């Protein structure tokens, strides 16, 4: 699998990363290098092997339905660059 410049541009856009046209060839080369390396996995025959999701055998942990958290607005807003009263704010989003 290899990525063309249009796909690289699209991935950047989906990730909301602005890139210069001049950076495209270098990024394309790097991404294709990563993909090529990962593609070595295709050499392993996994016919009939159940997909493994982790090395542990632990089951997913669940918690009881109890309110144990929240009511920490100051902490929640502590990193907000432009909080107004009890709210985060962002530059106006209009669909």
Residues forming contacts to other proteins in the complex (CB under 8 A) are: 10, 14, 16, 53-54, 58-73, 75-77, 79, 82, 84-95
The distance of closest approach from Cβ of residue 95 to other proteins in the complex, given in angstroms and rounded to an integer, is: 6
Question: Min. distance of Cβ 6 from other proteins in angstroms?
Answer: 12
Cβ distance to other proteins smaller for residue 26 or 80: 80
Structure-block tokens of residue 43: 């050499």
- CA dist 40 and 42 (Å) reads 5
Residues 29, 37 contacting (CB under 8 angstroms): no
Residue 47 or 61 having the CB closest to other proteins: 61
CA separation for the pair 4, 32 (Å, rounded): 9
- Give the residue with the Cβ less far from other proteins, 22 or 61: 61
Bridge partners, 84 (sequence order)? 87
């Amino acid at each position: 699998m290899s990525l063309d410049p249009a796909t690289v541009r699209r991935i950047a856009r989906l990730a909301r990363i602005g890139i210069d046209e001049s950076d495209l060839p270098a990024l394309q080369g790097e991404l294709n290098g990563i993909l090529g390396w990962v593609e070595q996995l295709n050499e392993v025959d996994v016919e009939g092997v159940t997909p493994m999701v982790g090395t542990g055998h632990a089951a997913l942990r669940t918690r009881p339905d109890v309110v144990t958290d929240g009511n920490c607005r100051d902490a929640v807003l502590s990193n907000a660059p432009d909080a107004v009263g009890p709210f985060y704010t962002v530059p106006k989003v209009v669909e």
